[in-house]
């Protein structure tokens, strides 16, 4: 079904040689589990033709995924974990694993049974050796109707607070070997949060679809210098089938007992604080029972999930005092008990962890905040005053676009591909005040 690879810095056992704890996750179906033990991880320094080292990864744990069938509580998939501590001298490393072929009938990979499943992660430790890769949080498989889809999540948590950027990539059969495939037609990925947002599909063909998403991490080393530290790819199958069962949805959210608000709005919090977020859900199909789940508590420190009743769940986050300020996306899922397969929504919540100054004490301003991602390639978003006219100019002051912020203050810019990499400024159209600096990266 798919998999991913993550890494985290651990104390070195050889002077001058960085050491990392590497985890490989593989997703398989219980009916035909192809669980190998041990697994071979290939660590390649440099390009695809660089020096490669094979590393033996023992199977350390097999976990049950969520049950998603209405007549059984058996897990719909298995998650196999392989772990090892690895020395990676300073370099540009690709960590990869190639397993048996994709399952049959993957609609967007022709001849899928003849194609290998290749998963990979990338680490550049030439700038800094202290790095923990992003970790994907949700392990819920999207199972959607040909006529109705719902949000799902590929969001990841970065313990270092690095800036994350998400993008859909082509599935690969090997290093530098993209498979002949077409993009998954039912979702687009939010480049800032990793949320999978449903789109009007161009096909109603039932079956499996492959979705490959990359999350890249950038770190700001100086006021004008951002560097790519690495990326993690996740490959996963989702299922499309004919059903009249409609997915449940989250209808409201309250923070610390406050008024109900849209789940799409960001939640502000400080390091060391505890916040409680109550989510309310409903199902358009009468009489169906709801349940809630999240993979995030297994990844995010201080996070827990508690079901409050038939339609409510509480997410509690005791934010670690040392957590770096930044944007953190956390998914929460609601599933019904419909047949033949439970329908679901996996909603991505956005938390903004502030710095040492309490957010409530900051002077109000119409200046933009929360520019993301930095740097960007295809699109960038930021927040300013609601319904504000914004002018975008290049480094020479030439106007390149005019936009208007949404009712919640969000501005999303998708510049033309002809605009070059470099610095762009967002200014108020009313008085010319600077609102945000937007840095576009080259390919």
* pLDDT surpasses 90 at 159: yes
Q: Label residue 366 by pLDDT band (50, 70, 90).
A: very low
Strands (E), 242-364: 249-255, 267-269, 274-282, 291-293, 303-307, 312-318, 326-335, 344-353
Which tens digits make up the pLDDT trace of 123-142? Answer: 999 988 889 999 999 988 88
* pLDDT surpasses 80 at 188: yes
* pLDDT surpasses 90 at 386: no
Per-residue confidence (pLDDT) for residue 74, from 0 to 100: 67
Residue that finishes a domain, picked among 215, 241, 267: 241
Check whether residue 196 and residue 98 sit in a common domain.
Answer: yes
> Measured between alpha carbons, how far is 326 from 352 in angstroms, rounded to an integer?
6
Per-residue confidence (pLDDT) for residue 345, from 0 to 100: 95
225, part of any domain: yes
Q: Label residue 362 by pLDDT band (50, 70, 90).
A: very low
Tokens of 173: 């059969």
> Measured between alpha carbons, how far is 273 from 270 in angstroms, rounded to an integer?
6
Check whether residue 62 and residue 129 sit in a common domain.
Answer: yes
According to DSSP, residue 103 is labeled P
Check whether residue 187 and residue 296 sit in a common domain.
Answer: no
Check whether residue 199 and residue 272 sit in a common domain.
Answer: no
Check whether residue 230 and residue 276 sit in a common domain.
Answer: no
> Measured between alpha carbons, how far is 253 from 231 in angstroms, rounded to an integer?
32
* pLDDT surpasses 60 at 223: yes
Check whether residue 289 and residue 163 sit in a common domain.
Answer: no
Per-residue confidence (pLDDT) for residue 361, from 0 to 100: 34
Check whether residue 305 and residue 173 sit in a common domain.
Answer: no
Mean per-residue pLDDT for 158-164? 93
Hunting for tokens 């989702």 — which residue is that? 238
According to DSSP, residue 132 is labeled B
- Beta pairing class for 344-353 and 267-269: parallel
Tokens of 164: 């994350």
* pLDDT surpasses 90 at 6: yes
Task: List, in sequence order, every residue forming a beta bridge with 428; answer none if it has no partner.
Answer: 390
Is 227 buried (19+), middle (13-18) or exposed (0-12) by CB count in 10 A? Answer: middle
Check whether residue 230 and residue 259 sit in a common domain.
Answer: no
Per-residue confidence (pLDDT) for residue 264, from 0 to 100: 86
> Measured between alpha carbons, how far is 210 from 235 in angstroms, rounded to an integer?
7
Q: Label residue 226 by pLDDT band (50, 70, 90).
A: confident
Mean per-residue pLDDT for 281-306? 95
Q: How many domains does the chain have?
A: 3
359, part of any domain: no
Check whether residue 233 and residue 256 sit in a common domain.
Answer: no
Q: Would you say 138 and 155 are in contact if contact means Cβ atoms under 8 Å apart?
A: yes
CATH of the domain at 390: 2.60.40
Per-residue confidence (pLDDT) for residue 1, from 0 to 100: 73
C-alpha distance from residue 173 to each of 49, 99, 181, 210 (Å)? 15, 10, 11, 13
Q: Label residue 399 by pLDDT band (50, 70, 90).
A: confident
Tokens of 232: 């993690």
For 254, other C-beta atoms within 10 Å of its C-beta total 16
User: HSE on the CB side for 331, CA within 13 Å?
Assistant: 31
> Measured between alpha carbons, how far is 208 from 105 in angstroms, rounded to an integer?
6
112, part of any domain: yes
108, part of any domain: yes
* pLDDT surpasses 90 at 430: no
Residue that finishes a domain, picked among 182, 207, 241: 241
Check whether residue 124 and residue 186 sit in a common domain.
Answer: yes
Per-residue confidence (pLDDT) for residue 53, from 0 to 100: 95
* Top-ranked range on mean pLDDT: pick from 295-299, 403-407, 418-422, 432-436: 295-299
363, part of any domain: no
- pTM score, whole prediction: 0.79
Candidates 285, 291, 287; CA nearest to 306 is 291
Per-residue confidence (pLDDT) for residue 30, from 0 to 100: 65
Least-confidence region, from 362-366, 374-378, 419-423: 362-366
274, part of any domain: yes
The answer, yes or no, to whether the previous bond of 340 is cis (omega within 30 of 0) is: yes
Is 188 buried (19+), middle (13-18) or exposed (0-12) by CB count in 10 A? Answer: middle
Mean per-residue pLDDT for 285-299? 94
**Residues contacting 277, CB < 8 A, separation 6+:** 253, 254, 255, 267, 314, 315, 316, 317, 349
CA angle 188, 193, 198 (to 5 degrees): 25
* Top-ranked range on mean pLDDT: pick from 71-75, 309-313, 393-397: 309-313
For 375, other C-beta atoms within 10 Å of its C-beta total 19
> Measured between alpha carbons, how far is 272 from 264 in angstroms, rounded to an integer?
24
| Average pLDDT across the chain, whole number | 88
Check whether residue 286 and residue 205 sit in a common domain.
Answer: no
CATH of the domain at 313: 2.60.40.60
Task: List, in sequence order, every residue forming a beta bridge with 218; answer none if it has no partner.
Answer: 163, 228
Q: Which residue has the higher pLDDT, 4 or 429?
A: 4
Per-residue confidence (pLDDT) for residue 369, from 0 to 100: 57
Check whether residue 214 and residue 266 sit in a common domain.
Answer: no
* pLDDT surpasses 90 at 231: yes
* pLDDT surpasses 80 at 75: no
Per-residue confidence (pLDDT) for residue 355, from 0 to 100: 57
> Measured between alpha carbons, how far is 438 from 369 in angstroms, rounded to an integer?
11
Residues spanned by the domain of 201: 2-241
User: HSE on the CB side for 126, CA within 13 Å?
Assistant: 9
Residue that finishes a domain, picked among 241, 266, 290: 241
């Amino acid at each position: 079904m798919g998999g991913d690879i993550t890494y985290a810095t651990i104390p070195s056992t050889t002077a001058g040689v960085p050491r990392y704890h590497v985890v490989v996750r593989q997703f398989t179906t219980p009916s035909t589990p192809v669980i190998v033990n041990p697994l071979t991880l290939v660590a390649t320094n440099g390009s695809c033709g660089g020096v490669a080292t094979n590393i033996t990864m023992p199977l350390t744990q097999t976990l049950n995924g969520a049950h998603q069938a209405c007549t059984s509580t058996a897990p719909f998939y298995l998650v196999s974990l392989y772990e090892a501590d690895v020395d990676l001298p300073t370099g540009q490393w690709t960590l990869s694993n190639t397993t048996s072929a994709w399952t049959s009938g993957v609609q967007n990979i022709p001849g899928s049974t003849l194609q290998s499943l290749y998963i990979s992660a990338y680490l550049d430790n030439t700038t800094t050796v202290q790095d923990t890769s992003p970790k994907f949080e949700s392990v819920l498989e999207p199972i959607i109707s040909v006529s109705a889809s719902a949000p799902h999540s590929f969001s990841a948590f970065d313990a270092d607070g690095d800036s994350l950027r998400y993008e859909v990539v082509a599935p690969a059969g090997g290093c530098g070997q993209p498979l002949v495939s077409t993009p998954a037609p039912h979702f687009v990925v939010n480049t800032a949060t990793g949320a999978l947002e449903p789109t009007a599909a161009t096909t109603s063909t039932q079956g499996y679809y492959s979705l490959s998403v990359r999350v890249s991490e950038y770190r700001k080393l100086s006021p004008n210098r951002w560097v790519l530290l690495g990326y993690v790819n996740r490959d996963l199958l989702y299922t499309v089938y004919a059903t009249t069962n409609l997915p449940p949805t989250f209808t409201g959210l309250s923070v610390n007992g406050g008024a109900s608000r849209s789940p799409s709005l960001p939640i502000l919090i400080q390091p060391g604080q505890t916040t409680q977020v109550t989510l309310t859900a409903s199902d358009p199909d009468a009489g169906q029972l709801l349940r809630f789940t999240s993979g995030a508590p297994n990844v995010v420190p201080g996070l827990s999930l508690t079901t409050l009743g038939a339609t409510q769940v509480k997410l509690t986050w005791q934010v670690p005092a040392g957590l770096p300020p930044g944007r953190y996306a956390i998914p929460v899922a609601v599933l019904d008990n419909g047949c033949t397969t439970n329908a679901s929504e996996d909603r991505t919540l956005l938390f903004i962890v502030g710095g040492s100054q309490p957010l409530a004490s900051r002077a109000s301003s119409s200046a933009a905040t929360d520019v993301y991602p930095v740097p960007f390639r295809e699109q960038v978003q930021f927040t300013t005053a609601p319904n504000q006219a914004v002018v975008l100019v290049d480094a020479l002051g030439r106007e390149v676009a005019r936009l208007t912020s949404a009712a919640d203050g969000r501005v999303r810019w998708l510049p033309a591909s002809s605009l070059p990499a470099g610095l762009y400024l967002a200014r108020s159209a009313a008085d010319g005040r600077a609102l945000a600096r937007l840095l576009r990266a080259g390919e």
